[in-house]
Structure 1
Amino acid sequence: MISTSLHELLDAQLGDLYIQGTRVETLEKKDDVQMTSVVTDSRQAQAGSIFVAIAGERVDGHDFVTGLSEDVALAVVDHLIDGAAVPQLLVENTVRALGDIARLNIQKRRAFAARGMNEFTIIGITGSVGKTTTKDMLHAVLSRLAPTVAPQGSFNNDIGLPLTALQVDEKTRFFVAEMGASAKGEIAYLTTIARPDISIVLKVGVAHLGGFGSVEGIRDAKSEIVRALTSSGVAILNADDSYVRTMAEMTKASSIIWFSRQSAEDQPKPKVSGMVSSVIVRGTDTHVDEDNRAKFSVQLPDGTSFDLRLGIRGEHNVFNALAVLSVVYSLDIPEHIAASVLSQMSTISAHRMHVAEVTRGEASFTVIDDSFNANPDSMRAGLNALASYKKADEGLLRVAVLGAMLELGSGEEDAHRRIGLYAAEHADAVIAVGSSEDENLTRLAACLADGAGQKAQLVANTHEANALVEKLAQQHRAVVLLKGSHASGLSALASEWIH
């Protein structure tokens, strides 16, 4: 965070300031302080911190205001807390206030750049799948060159993005902003905090379909990230996605970089209006090795071509790599730097295509932990990875341990049956995991099992799934895919197995 005074917050009219319970309209010099960090966890608050009290599902940050030490600079609250030792900024909505403070921080960084004090570029990423992995890959490349800020894990909502934006300081050259949405208008709001200079749209799928009503609704929501671009911006779009292709007509950006896994014959460069610069980055001739790592041929718009073997697993990551290479091309970064980083990169955010060897008593097996979250597109990608892993080893039992997918709308049961069928086509055994506490999760898991037919077994919870995997692994050499929504509990099972 760029150091900010209490006086600056008052000038920005973010709320009403109270010191020792009394409203202060004119701040005396002795009461002004410099603030150098923003936290939402009171345990992280220290001298110079702003503590933003947010009421969550289980914990209300307001309950911890009286426990803050006197050297904490400020507490942001939506109601005054009696007995607080620190000044309080009273606002209507503390989550929105967090966004306001983050916006101020980005504005200050933009002002430094405008005065010639270090360039600053914001790259926004959205899509139904691949956001976090693309963010990880891009962060790895850009941080090799200059100070780069990117979110931890999937900090991509109205709390996570502002907290990440508040990590930006005077020296930050690149800010990689992951932007997610479960309803229309959410990405548009995030872009008011950190308007991208470069916007990436990876894919329009059916994740969160229940919140949007239709795939067209998802497309419109994702398009908010390119609608936010100015005429000097760059839109990086997936040419292989028919919904993403329509976004070329929705942006003011004067430059579009397409990326595609197809040849020019199979996927010509999409046409755009005459005033827009349009080029395409291609990745073709993909081959996946025994460790499920993809090698492909890259063709850049300037005629440069080279082969690239990704360090991270999963053929689906070719799309993510092409998006990263498109950013690299737009920034005039030498492609060999990006290629070197992407080929050596072996770890990304937790529970994403992480392969590990597991021993549980007398059972030993390989786990492909892709349990962070799930939607139909990412489910298919995970199952493809399971089928490709050591493909030539015919004696390897391939087990898909699958949990429910959420927010798919009225067609959710059919969607689960289709994924169950897909799983049966790519795995030797399918374990559909329900929940002892949530009937909805069990209902959807039953649909997975129904789709998978005779290869499937429905279990009530992760404990039963663990027992069944151990039994199978005692009888066979096995590789096990873990894939499901957060609520399915498979991430916790993965952590138990691996750690």
Structure 2
Amino acid sequence: MISVRCEEIAAAVHGELAGVDPTAVVDGAVVIDSRTAGPGGLFVALPGERVDGHDYVGTATEAGVTVSLTTRPIDGCPCIVVGDAQKALGDLARLVISRLPGLTVIGLTGSSGKTSTKDLIAQLIRPYGETVSPEGSFNNEIGHPLTALQCTESTRFLVAEMGARHAGDLFYLSGITPPKVGLVLNVGTSHIGEFGSQDNIAQAKGELIESVVPGGTAVLNADDPRVAAMASRTSAKVLTFGEAGSADVRATDLKLDGEGRPSFTLRIGDFSREVQLKFIGEHYVSNALGAATVAHAVGLTPEQIADGLVAAAPVSAARMEIFERADGVTIINDAFNANPDSTRAALKALVAIGRSRGARTWAVLGEMLELGDTSTEEHDSIGRLVVRLDVNRLLVVGEGAKPIHLGASLEGSWGNESAYVPTIPEALDVLRSELRKGDVVLVKSSKASKLRSLAEALIGEGVQ
């Protein structure tokens, strides 16, 4: 973090100094875990479900932090006392970002693909300037400001992934890091249980576009009508991407290779070049185009963008990660999260890989959460798609995902092609007894369904 005096922090977060020298400087890391606290840093004492950060202020002080943000004084520890430590964390990040006029903030959101696209953007632009981006999907009211606070005077780009569960969330996050470039990838059904409808989701996602600073650029998906319509919500320059002929950055000649990796012709103005991605699944084409358009907006040449896309590789775990086991079984771990669109894309990639290898394919699917009243219908449609794609075996795990099995059965699956089990241990028993050399297994679910543990167990063992 940049150097900031405690008195300046107190003013920014509306806090009171308690046992701290007003002129003492914070120039180290801002952390919420006392185990990572260090000299010159700042510890934020957040209340948690199991522990209270205030119990660890002493530990952070012993580790050398200059001060802690707390909601009450702690004896023997320098503190800035605030009413709400989480809000104060955001206020501190807003102060730091406001003091970095040379920083270009790139904000992005979408119902799916945010983290992978964030990783792509960072890989494209990092060779051309010091870049800060969050690890994993660190995109909420805590992770977002913590990432922003990593910026210093030498940082040129901040790639700020922003998630939203409620109306107003993106206004709040964008207020901390006002974006010069704002990207909306798509409007799907993720969190529809919270928002009520896709139109409400679009209204919330568009808050990012309304927050683009004067003179900035809004980057919109031309293939998603709800996203394209957001152009009317900004006075910023608008750049579009997609397969649509009208898009400023577009893809043509899309195809998947035998490993499910997409290639396409990248077109930017008069420039065109074939690009082969290292990522698995055709849905990465839209992510790549969004990242390419952001890179175009910040000044990279089409040649630099094409070179960067070819070189980019998966970074975040459990997103279409392929593991080849010693016994010849292939595991595709895509269990970080799931929604109907990403599940459909993952299933198509599974089929492409299986077809190229002449292999038997397995779809091991768990519940897609936060779909509200559409949950049964969406799960049912996934089961029917599994049958239409001719996936060889379907294993559905967990009560919430059971409509996938029912949909497959009603679509025409028969015998033991589709099976349902209530628990992960039961799913592992089935797989251990029935997997054979050459099988390709996709594991896909929402994070809270915890199929990632199943994928990791499969990766670590051979056929029993």
1:266-281 equivalent positions in 2, closer than 5 A: 269=246, 280-281=248-249
C-alpha distance in 2 between matches for 1:339 and 1:393: 29
Residue of structure 2 in register with 1:321 after alignment: 288
Matched, 1:285 2:260: no
> Structure 1 pair 452/60, CA: closer, same or farther in 2 (3 Å)?
farther
Aligned pair partner of 1:59 in 41, 44, 51: 51
Q: Superposition RMSD on alpha carbons, in Å?
A: 1.6
Asked if structure 2 preserves the Cα contact closer than 8 Å seen for 1:68 and 1:86, the reply is no
> Using the alignment, how far apart are the partners of 1:142 and 1:478 within structure 2?
38
Question: Residue 296 of structure 1: SS of its match in structure 2?
Answer: strand
Query: Is 1:36 the counterpart of 2:28 in the alignment?
Result: yes
User: Equivalent residues in 2 for 1:2-401 (5 A)?
Assistant: 2-19=2-19, 29=23, 32-70=24-62, 71-81=64-74, 83=75, 85-110=76-101, 113=102, 120-253=103-236, 255-262=237-244, 264=245, 269=246, 280-301=248-269, 303-359=270-326, 364-394=328-358, 396-401=359-364
Distance (Å, rounded) in 2 between the aligned partners of 1:307 and 1:473: 37
Rounded Cα–Cα distance in structure 2 between residues aligned with 1:88 and 1:168: 23
Query: In structure 2, what is the equivalent of residue 484 of structure 1?
Result: 445
Distance (Å, rounded) in 2 between the aligned partners of 1:28 and 1:210: 47
Distance verdict in 2 for CA 1:416–1:212, change over 3 Å = same
Which segments of structure 1 move beyond 4 Å, counting only runs of 4 or more?
A: none
Is 1:467 paired with 2:429? Answer: yes
1:445 has 2:445 as partner: no
**Preserved CA contact (<8 Å) 2:268 2:302:** no
Q: Closer, same or farther in 2 for the Cα pair 1:89/1:447, shift >3 Å?
A: same
Q: Identical aligned pairs, as a percentage? A: 40
Greater mean alpha carbon deviation, residues 280-289 or residues 10-19: 10-19
Q: 3-state SS of the aligned residue for 1:182?
A: coil
Matched to 2:37, the amino acid is A
Checking the alignment, whether the CA contact within 8 Å between 2:7 and 2:22 is kept in structure 1 is no
| In structure 1, C-alpha distance between the alignment counterparts of 2:94 and 2:45, rounded to whole Å | 18
Matched residue pairs, number?
452
**Whole-angstrom CA distance in 2 between matches of 1:207 and 1:326:** 24
The SS at the match of 1:168 is coil
What TM-score do you get using the length of structure 1 for normalisation? 0.87
CA–CA separation in structure 2 for the residues paired with 1:212 and 1:342: 34
Q: Please list every run of 5 or more consecutive structure 2 residues that lacks an aligned counterpart in the other structure.
A: none
Match of 2:392 among 428, 439, 455: 428
> In 2, distance between residues paired with 1:162 and 1:223?
20
Residues 73/329 of structure 1: CA separation in 2 closer, same or farther (3 Å cut): same
Larger displacement relative to structure 2 (209-218 or 421-430): 421-430
Partners of 1:47 and 1:497 in 2: CA distance: 42
* SS state at 2:100 partner: helix
SS at match of 1:291: coil
Q: Deviations over 1:30-76 (max 9, x none)?
A: xx233322000010111111110111222221221233334221111
For 2:402, give the aligned amino acid.
Answer: A
Work out whether residues 6 and 35 of structure 1, in 8 Å CA contact, stay in contact via their aligned partners in 2. no
Task: Output the CA distance in 2 between the equivalents of 1:100 and 1:173.
Answer: 21
Could you tell me which runs of 5 or more consecutive residues in structure 1 were left unpaired when the two chains were aligned.
Answer: 114-119, 270-278, 435-441
CA distance in 2, matches of 1:177, 1:122: 7
2:373 counterpart of 1:410: yes
CA apart distance, 1:13 = 4.8
In 1, Cα distance between the equivalents of 2:341 and 2:229?
A: 20
Q: Distance between the aligned counterparts of 2:13 and 2:254, measured in 1?
A: 54
Q: Give SS of 2:140's match.
A: coil
The answer (yes or no) to whether the contact 1:230–1:252 under 8 Å persists in 2 is no
- The DSSP-based 3-state class of the residue aligned with 2:69 is strand
**Would the alpha carbon gap of residues 416 and 209 (structure 1) be closer, same or farther in structure 2, given more than 3 Å must change?**
same
Deviates more, 1:155-164 or 1:383-392: 383-392
